[in-house]
Chains A and B, each alone.
Chain A
Amino acid sequence: MSSTPFTTRLRCDHCGEFCPDADIYLGDKMFCCEGCRSVYQILSTPELCSYYSINAHPGRPQREPFRSDKFAYLDDPAIAAKVIQFTNGVQTHITLFLPQIHCSSCLWLLEHLTRIDAGIISSTVSFDTKEVFITFRPTTTSLRQIVEMLARIGYEPHLSPGELSMNRQVEPRRKHWYKIGLAGFCFSNIMMLSLPEYLAGPEGIEPDISHFISIIKILLAIPVITYAASGFFIQAWKGLRERYLNIDAPIALALVITFGRSIYEIWSGTGAGYLDSLSGIVFFMLIGRWLQDLTYRAISFDRDFKSFFPMAVQVIKKEKIEQVTIENLKVNDIIQIHHGELVPVDALLSKGDAQIDYSFVTGESIPVPIDKGMIVYAGGKQTSGRIELIVVKEASQSYLTQLWNRDATEQHKTGAHPFIDSLSRYFTYIIFGIGVIAASYWWFHGRPDLMWNAMTTILIVACPCALLLSANFTTGNILRILSLNKFYLKNARVLEMLTRVNAILFDKTGTLTYKSKMQVSYEGIPLNERMKNDLVQLLVHSNHPLSKAIYHFLNVQPDHVAEHFKMSPGEGIEGWIDEHHIKIGSPQFVGAKEIKNKSTLSCISVDQIFIGTFTIHPEYRLGLSRMFNQLKERYTLALLSGDQDSEKETLANQMGRDCDIRFNQRPEDKMHYIQELQQDPNARILMLGDGLNDVPALHQSHVGIAVSDGDNAFAPAADGIIEASHISILDRILSYIRAGKKIILLSFGISILYNVAGLYFAVQGTLSPMIAAILMPMSSITIILITFGLSNYMARRYHLNLNHPES
């Protein structure tokens, strides 16, 4: 418990976090930790100090120092070859993924790396993908040196086996730009060329000029229909082959008919055609698609578990340490794992004090001690010192791999067709119906010449382009606003699915609670200052997270350090202080048999007399009760935790008594729970979870959202990612998404009104072609403005953030 008021606390000059104590400084600058200070030391040289002048506190906290040989594996040519893109002995090219990139200072620093390492020839940052492309001389520096240098200044690259650089996905995006540019060029020129005819009045313009203009218009329209609009034809064809009518099918049909009829009118001299409308519509639709596909390129939604592991581990072979990639680990290899590293394979503990944090795999938040000879499962994180393990299963066979590869049925996700598709289907049937009725009317009235005219006019006017436009623009804008609120969705389909959700399941650890913060409460005989000091003297010796949490809770500086003490791994610590025998540990350890053993409990006894119990609670994120209350009105809520049930009361109070709260859920239990709910065909389930233990459930649910703490690059595969700090606004986000669907429907209604009005005047022949040519793009633009305005207005109404964090 800190008593210092917030206002007087200093912020670290590197990362902006509060400084815990005032003794880490350099000149007049204060730092929160040694790491930040050493980064500052490197970067405050005259060549680099712009880094600190572009933005205040540009850095990230550097509390965890990295081990000096952590990147030793990069000296191995075979492993380095996986990272290096090109080398000729003189120049080497690499692209590194740095998830820490977040502001313009990062950009500046990373493009001036030559000033830190002279061996670097050039470095270029791709901000969208959070990548840096580095060219260096392998003769003066090395891959390992560069990676270590980056890690030292706070940009540790994310190196993982088998992950492609995002930059290779650049080609389709460029293609989209070409199409937009081309369609815009053709649209504006056809528009301009059409003006003389619109403005000429009843007498028309000279036939040879009119002829010439028509030819140019057709020539300009051909690339629009063959290249710019090709995406719509391809999508429509794909849909038809799967016997499914998507929104592209009626659009493709309308485009073909408009083009055909325009050519016919121009050729027969009966009219000017609709080539300007055609190219305009294609142009606007391409912009709409582009907006919707503006997903977040730096975030991978399909990460597999391998990307959570380092590229290589240290294997001890005949007293020597070798670097071996994870795929090449063999049974009976002896591997060495350091503090804070993940165990990549199932292995037996052979040496060292293992405190394994399985929160990644099971959701259990408190590390478990492992005895020698016991198995440590892949995905466990070592939280005390160095350990040695004997591999018992190769990476591909481990429990974690099997967990991940279990094929949850994907059909719920692919089976749900987007709502614009189903809307456009009804729409298409109705339009076809009207067209056929109109055509047969004229056929039976002996006017077959008017039959084609009527049918094509109806199809052209009723093109569901406006539907596509409003849907794309609205979802594009909603996805953008959600991303400003740290909620990232894979695509528009997920957005659509979220509007139908009726049950929400939460994971506990890491989702509702902070992953590392813990609260301590004490029950028993009140502790005086002397007593606290004695306890702290003992606790200083223990690295166990429980001891550390209690140490911080007591908040006393020990005046001595206990000299006579004994640690029993997994049980507790005991010692003699001032002739008293003090024990801290599990209930059995201190002899309190009536207390049920739990990993969240720590008891104390003095001279064999039981004094009291410390209980560790996870710390809940702020604003959860309010969120649960809001969500309960519309959704069924449930909680599935891999943890023990010590938090049952607290959670029941927050979520409400009627909610299903389950503990000790293994990953497959969570999945089965969802399968059971899905027996009800109307159930639409949203699952939120953070760990690998939630992966099967995230897959099984209709929408799986991964909760990520900090850099969103490290979340399990899911349909979307929410930053943990924003989970308490989930209710507002969901309300906003539902409002978005209404905006699409509304703008679609408006566009139908436009079409009906246009059709009415067109049939009467009272609409001059020029007014029609102006109204067409006007209607598109007003629809775009309406959807944009409404979705921004709704976001404000639900108090969502609308501004880019840096502007």
Chain B
Amino acid sequence: MSVIILLLLISLLLAGGFLVAFFWSVSDGQFDDAYGSARRLLYKDESDKPETKE
């Protein structure tokens, strides 16, 4: 039954990886300004050409 223990460890390791990724994103400042980031995403691919209203 030791395979269960191995599986548990792997799952914990995986989840731990996500936790580390979360910590990383927080320390990177991604959670500091939720509004700005959400809007900024939409402007990224705009070119210098004037946009037309839909």
Residues of A within 8 A of B (CB): 46-47, 49-50, 53, 104, 107-108, 111, 125-129, 170, 173-174, 177-178, 181-182, 185, 188-189, 192-193, 206, 208-209, 212-213, 216
Q: Give A111 to B46 CA distance when docked, in angstroms.
A: 13
Given contacts A170-B32, A173-B32, 17 further A-B contacts (CB under 8 A): A46-B50, A49-B50, A50-B50, A53-B51, A53-B52, A53-B53, A104-B42, A107-B39, A108-B39, A111-B43, A127-B36, A128-B33, A177-B31, A182-B19, A185-B16, A188-B15, A212-B8
Residues of B within 8 A of A181 (CB): 19, 22-23, 26
Contact present for B8 and A177 (CB under 8 Å): no
**Total A-B residue contacts, Cβ distance less than 8 Å:** 74
Residues of B within 8 A of A177 (CB): 26, 31
Interface readout for B1-41 with A: 1 if CB under 8 Å, 0 if not? 10011001001100110110011001101011111100110
Overall SS of chain B's interface: helix
Query: Quick one: given A53-B51, A104-B39, A108-B43, are A209 and B4 in contact (CB under 8 Å)?
Result: yes
Q: Give A173 to B40 CA distance when docked, in angstroms.
A: 21
Residues of B within 8 A of A182 (CB): 19
Q: Give A128 to B33 CA distance when docked, in angstroms.
A: 6
Contact present for B12 and A216 (CB under 8 Å): yes
Q: Give A104 to B19 CA distance when docked, in angstroms.
A: 31
Contact present for A125 and B12 (CB under 8 Å): no
Contact present for B5 and A212 (CB under 8 Å): yes
Residues of A within 8 A of B27 (CB): 174
Contact present for A193 and B8 (CB under 8 Å): yes
Residues of B within 8 A of A (CB): 1, 4-5, 8, 11-12, 15-16, 18-19, 22-23, 26-27, 29, 31-36, 39-40, 42-43, 46, 48-53
Question: In whole Å, how far is A711's beta carbon from the nearest beta carbon of chain B?
Answer: 17
Overall SS of chain A's interface: helix
Contact present for A185 and B32 (CB under 8 Å): no
Q: Give A104 to B46 CA distance when docked, in angstroms.
A: 14
Contact present for B4 and A47 (CB under 8 Å): no
Contact of B35 among A46, A50, A127 (CB under 8 A): A127
Kindly report which residue of chain A lies nearest to residue B22, judged by CB atoms. A181
Give me 17 A-to-B residue pairs in the complex whose CB atoms sit less than 8 angstroms apart, sorted by A's number: A47-B48, A49-B50, A50-B46, A53-B52, A107-B36, A111-B40, A127-B33, A170-B29, A170-B32, A173-B31, A174-B31, A174-B32, A177-B31, A178-B26, A185-B19, A193-B8, A209-B5
Q: Give A104 to B40 CA distance when docked, in angstroms.
A: 8
Residues of A within 8 A of B26 (CB): 174, 177-178, 181
Q: Give A483 to B10 CA distance when docked, in angstroms.
A: 45
Q: Give A208 to B26 CA distance when docked, in angstroms.
A: 38
Q: Give A128 to B50 CA distance when docked, in angstroms.
A: 28
Question: In whole Å, how far is B49's beta carbon from the nearest beta carbon of chain A?
Answer: 7
Q: Give A472 to B15 CA distance when docked, in angstroms.
A: 29
Residues of A within 8 A of B50 (CB): 46, 49-50, 53
The 10 closest A-B pairs by CB, nearest first: A127-B36, A127-B35, A104-B39, A177-B26, A185-B19, A181-B22, A53-B51, A126-B33, A49-B50, A128-B33
Contact present for A128 and B34 (CB under 8 Å): yes
Residues of B within 8 A of A193 (CB): 8
Question: In whole Å, how far is B20's beta carbon from the nearest beta carbon of chain A?
Answer: 10
Residues of B within 8 A of A129 (CB): 33
Q: Give A193 to B15 CA distance when docked, in angstroms.
A: 13
Residues of B within 8 A of A212 (CB): 5, 8
Q: Give A125 to B29 CA distance when docked, in angstroms.
A: 13
Question: In whole Å, how far is A189's beta carbon from the nearest beta carbon of chain B?
Answer: 6
Q: Give A126 to B39 CA distance when docked, in angstroms.
A: 12
Contact present for B15 and A189 (CB under 8 Å): yes
Residues of A within 8 A of B35 (CB): 127-128
Residues of B within 8 A of A128 (CB): 32-36
Residue among A108, A111, A181 with the most chain B CB within 10 A? Answer: A181
Contact present for A178 and B23 (CB under 8 Å): yes
Contact present for A126 and B1 (CB under 8 Å): no
Contact present for A209 and B33 (CB under 8 Å): no
Question: In whole Å, how far is B24's beta carbon from the nearest beta carbon of chain A?
Answer: 11
Question: In whole Å, how far is B37's beta carbon from the nearest beta carbon of chain A?
Answer: 9
Q: Give A314 to B8 CA distance when docked, in angstroms.
A: 72
Contact present for B36 and A209 (CB under 8 Å): no
